[in-house]
Structure 1
Amino acid sequence: MDDVRTDARELADYGYEQELRRTLSAWAVFAIGFATISPVVGIYAVIQLGFAFSGPVWIWATVVAFLGQLLVAVVYAELASQFPVTGGVYQWVRRLAGPRLGWLVGWIYLSAAVASLTTVAYLGATWLHLLFSDGALSARGHVLLGVVFVAVALAINLLGVEPVKHFLNAGIIAEGVASIAVSLVLLVFVHNNGFGILFDTLGAEAAVGGSATAGFLACLAVAGWAFLGFDATTQVAEETENPRRNVPRALLRAYLFVAFTVLLTGLAVTLALSRPEDAVSGAIADPVFAAVTDGIGAWAEKPFIVVVLIAFFACAISIQTYIGRAVFAFARDRQLPFSPVLATVGERQIPYVSLIVTAVLAALGLLLGLNGNAAATLISFGSGGFYFVFLAVALTALVARLTGRWNPDSGQVRLGRLGLVVNVLAVVWLLFEAINIAWPRTELAPVGGSWVQVWAVILVFSALFLVGLAYVLLARPHTKLASVPAPAADKAPTR
């Protein structure tokens, strides 16, 4: 109880009251991060497209994405250890680079986060359909099942923090079974290919103009999706006990554990496929499902689908949790239209209005699925927005570090000079990957799509940036910030 009071006093130093219930332990925060990154959701979304572009070589693109995002996770851990406030990137950029840039970064972040919930719901709908039917899934049916995903995630979140924790724990168990346990079984008992196949494209470059390099870059653009979501831990800082210590630790542990699981599953599936060339040609629509049912037996089909579904639902619930907190943080600072309503906290001490609004927006995004298979498009949208935000945050941190506006060593995560090296490398990686994801590729657009769909990532996020910029210039939300001064960026409040 004394720790909770201390955390509340520290929050007051930032100008905020303790409105949210501070009941999340280090394990609960880890569960949120783990469920949001979700090895099941990550690998199942990436592996099919990875095989199509690079064949078995896809796994090396995943390794590169893991190493690059590890640099970003370390920078985020430094920031989270010093600013234990709900709002994450919006709060960090606002305090280190000013409220105008903070608003723009927060605006793009919210857009990308809603797109990620839409994407998870769309991907999960396929598994929900498989549970009850072996027939084809229509575009309309896909959208409706996606809405079911969003509705369930919202319903669980509206019950309060405690039910969310229980569902996320179930999700971790499901992830362990669906990823780690199954992968170990495949590696030990179903080993149909040698390790040499990991260096063979099996002719996949034909899908991208005959260039293996182009195929690898396209695969790398998609692989970035598997390592998103670790920042979800920062959105529950005001509900976490001793957030300066527990949030960054949970962030890094969740990231590393998920990365290990993703790479283990990718390796196991690639080595287990009896006909990997069918995964390249598209004859096998889902390489993971094929490897499991062919290798373990048809009896495992329905149980495996159930376990995967639990993991997908846990991921959707976790994403809904942190999006609601992000909107709440924005609205609490009077940065959005209808801010007083969006910042409403109910009897269960949750921002229920923000949760409902973001669920509606995510459900509307599912309408993209009416135009056929939208998986690649949605992944590009979600990844593109997040990587733009990652780049803005890493650049802000680097400039603040070099100009003395931020002293990272005053937080719980102290890296000294190594922190500067990590920050620079993170910026280099993010600049490359943001361009790579935004690069117009016909293979990531719907079949027969127009130039608008090919350039969709650049066009949509340019439009979002211009809308946000217009709002900043006309509505001047930065002038509505609370008058209580925030602590200096290089000085942590005393505990």
Structure 2
Amino acid sequence: MDNSRTDAGELAEYGYRQELRRSLSVWAVFAIGFATISPVVGIYAVVQLGFVFAGPAWIWAVLLAFLGQLLVAVVYVELSSQFPVTGGVYQWVRRLAGPRQGWLVGWIYLASAIASLTTVAYLGATWLHMLFSDGPLEPLHHVLLGVVFIAVALGINLLGVNPVKHFLNAGIVAEGVASIAVSVFLLVFAHNNGFGILFETLGAQAASGGSVLAGFLTCLAVAGWAFLGFDATTQVAEETEQPRRNVPRALIRAYLFVAFTVLLTGLAVTLALPNPEEAVAGRLADPVFTAVTAGLGGWSEKPFIAVVLLAFIACAISIQTYIGRAVYAFARDRQLPFSATLATVGPRQIPWVSLVVTAVLASLGLLLGLNGNAAATLIAFGSGGFYFVFLSVAVVALVARLTGRWRPSRGRVDLGRAGLVINVLAVVWLLFEATNIAWPRVELAPVGGSWVQVWAVVLVFSVLLAVGLVYVAIAKPHTRLPANQNQNQEEKLETP
């Protein structure tokens, strides 16, 4: 059987013709998911904040975030098996709850995804600076290096799907060296602390008014960043061979492998750090770098930085890959201003206009870094948006199950009653974690920051939601769907 013809036929049933190049195997989709979640980007971004707020016990917050997000990933596995189309959450919510709701969730998703690209570029700029200089990184230079980061990722994406695959494979190798190999070495040869330290805070609660619980919750809010991005696999469904089977497989494999790597690295760094009290006091800008260079020796500094930098670049490439597809999916349904232009597919069969526009928007977000260290603010902002989207999708899926609107089809991923239980637990987890992330905390704002920065997550996403509601009311994008987009899909949702 010609799978490409079968895939194109299934896509036509959803009202779309094959425009993107369908050339991604399950391994290539796994690479996109792995590079987007990225254990290096995830753990290296939160470890310093984790130590400051929870001490060595921060690792338990990471474990809890992993278990909670595993529930969400399973819900996404069922949905991605049912809907093999580019657009992910936008497509799912539109078809299960209606076009208005789909537009609003897609709008918040795009803003969050662009914020995540900004965050990765901002964090990666630090490593780029470390590769060439040992001096302090000034805010303006930090922002400019972040722009360079985004420009490199854009340039590689514009070369086409195959070059992206090669760079992501290199990123996986870099992740393996920087995370797994180094972590195993640290656990075996540079074990400076006993396992009992994992249950100590070393006074970290002082940063949260003396409350261990408050410190742990702050740490958990930050730890949620480490498990974002597994939905990137769903954005390339129309470029994937046999997407009903390969996208869900790639999604769950990427998530589990990244989770294993994150937990291994977190454990290794915590046990290997020579003076964990220094990390708790905030005197170590990067506990991972300190633990690695102390364990391997001074010679390892530049090689380790180069490997980590490669992993960050691969992550930025992957994020930009799926953001471009998300904008393309929105635009081809005439849901955005200048949709015809944004939906342009170039000779390399990639949505190049969407890629350029999202790169420009992500670069503008870097301006937040001009006001000192913006890492915590950007992480909270990016996480907050994604968790709002996670919650929206989980609630829509649960309501659709309970009302009979959606029944995962036989022959695909259908967990039956177990799927319903997991869906309920996912909603409970997301209600808690979304609230926890959005909770205004002075300790996550820049030093001397205003109340606007303390309430940044709530304020920004309230504004985004308000703008979205106004746009839906005035522009009515849900009425501009192409004629071939039949909203009445009950038969498609319930039959194999």
TM-score when normalising by structure 2? 0.99
Rounded Cα–Cα distance in structure 2 between residues aligned with 1:411 and 1:491: 14
Gap change, CA 1:230 and 1:280, over 3 Å in 2? same
Partner of 2:7: 7
Residue identity in the other structure for 2:194: G
Distance in 1 (CA, whole Å) between partners of 2:411 and 2:109 is 24
Is the contact between residue 82 and residue 411 of structure 1 (CA under 8 Å) also seen in structure 2? no
Displacement of 1:492: 5.4
Aligned to 1:17: 17
- 1:161-180 → structure 2 map (5 Å cutoff): 161-180=161-180
Structure 1 residue 410: deviation in Å?
A: 3.7
Write the distance in 1 (CA, Å) between the matches of 2:494 and 2:87: 18
8 Å CA contact 1:391–1:431 kept in 2: the answer is yes
Partner of 1:215: 215
Letter in 2 for 1:288: V
Matched with 1:335 is: 335
CA contact (8 A) 2:408 2:493 kept: no
Provide closer, same or farther for how the CA distance between residues 494 and 396 of structure 1 changes in structure 2, counting only shifts above 3 A: closer
**Residue aligning to 2:75:** 75
How far is the alpha carbon of 1:493 from its aligned partner?
Answer: 9.6
Shift of 1:414: 1.4
CA distance in 1, matches of 2:411, 2:148: 42
State the AA in 1 paired with 2:330: F
On the 8 A contact 2:406/2:494 being kept in 1, the answer is no
Distance, in Å, in 2 between the alignment partners of 1:192 and 1:471 is 57
In structure 1, the partner of 2:224 is 224
Instruction: For 2:161, give the aligned amino acid.
Output: V
Q: 1:338 to 1:282 in 2, by over 3 A?
A: same
* Residue 172 of structure 1, CA deviation: 0.2
CA distance in 2, matches of 1:111, 1:270: 34
Map of 2:304 onto structure 1? 304
TM-score (norm 1): 0.99
Counterparts of 1:120 and 1:426, CA distance in 2: 26
**In structure 2, the residue corresponding to 1:408 is in which secondary structure?**
coil
- Conserved? CA contact 1:14–1:487, under 8 Å: no
Q: What secondary structure is seen at the aligned counterpart in 2 of 1:134?
A: coil
Q: CA deviation at 1:482?
A: 1.4
Query: How far apart are residue 285 of structure 1 and its match?
Result: 1.0
Deviations 1:455-491, CA, capped at 9 Å, x for gaps: 0100000000000000000000000001112572463
Deviations 1:276-314 (A, max 9, x none): 000001111100000000111000111100100000000
CA distance in 2, matches of 1:444, 1:213: 16
CA distance in 1, matches of 2:216, 2:185: 29
| Equivalent residues of 1:82, 1:410 under 8 A apart | no
Letter in 1 for 2:295: G
Question: Is 1:289 aligned with 2:265?
Answer: no
Determine if the alignment matches structure 1 residue 434 to structure 2 residue 425. Answer: no
Question: Is the contact made by 1:407 and 1:490 (CA closer than 8 Å) also made in structure 2?
Answer: no
After superposition, what is the alpha-carbon deviation per residue over 1:92-116, rounded to whole angstroms, capped at 9, x for unaligned?
Answer: 0000000000000000000000000
Cα distance in 1 for partners of 2:249, 2:493 equals 18
Partner of 2:268: 268
For residues 31 and 493 of structure 2, the distance between their equivalents in structure 1, rounded to whole angstroms, comes to: 27
C-alpha distance in structure 2 between counterparts of 1:290 and 1:17, whole Å: 52
Q: For 1:354 and 1:276, how far apart are their aligned partners in 2?
A: 44
Q: In the alignment, does 2:489 pair up with 1:488?
A: yes
* Structure 1 partner of 2:158: 158
Distance 1:187 1:433, change over 3 A: same
For residues 254 and 368 of structure 2, what CA distance do their matches in structure 1 show? 31
Structure 1 gaps of 5+ residues are none
Aligned pair in 2 of structure 1 residues 372, 489: CA closer, same or farther (>3 Å)?
farther
Change in CA separation of 1:489 and 1:281 when aligned onto 2, cut-off 3 Å:
farther
Unaligned runs of 5+ in 2: none
**Are the counterparts in 1 of residues 410 and 495 from structure 2 also a CA contact under 8 Å?**
no
Amino acid at match of 1:24: L
Counterpart of 2:450?
450
Q: Do the aligned residues in 1 keep the contact of 2:440 with 2:455 (CA within 8 Å)? A: yes
Contact 1:52 1:279 in 2 (8 A): yes
Equivalent residue number for residue 86 of structure 2 = 86
Q: Distance in 2 between matches of 1:332 and 1:73?
A: 27
SS of 1:64 mapped into structure 2: helix
- Counterpart of 2:17, as a letter, is E
Q: Identity across aligned pairs (percent)?
A: 81
Shift in Å at residue 409 of structure 1? Answer: 3.8
- Structure 1 distance, partners of 2:493, 2:237, is 15
Contact 1:408 1:490 in 2 (8 A): no
Amino acid at match of 2:141: G
State the alpha-carbon separation in 2 of the partners of residues 343 and 490 from structure 1: 29
Cα deviation for residue 422 of structure 1 reads: 0.1
Deviation at 1:494, TM superposition (A): 8.4
In 2, the alpha carbon distance for the partners of 1:66 and 1:16 equals: 35
Aligned to 1:38: 38
Letter of the structure 2 residue corresponding to residue 322 of structure 1:
Y
CA–CA separation in structure 2 for the residues paired with 1:409 and 1:263: 34
Cα distance change of structure 1 residues 449 and 69 upon mapping to structure 2, 3 Å threshold? same
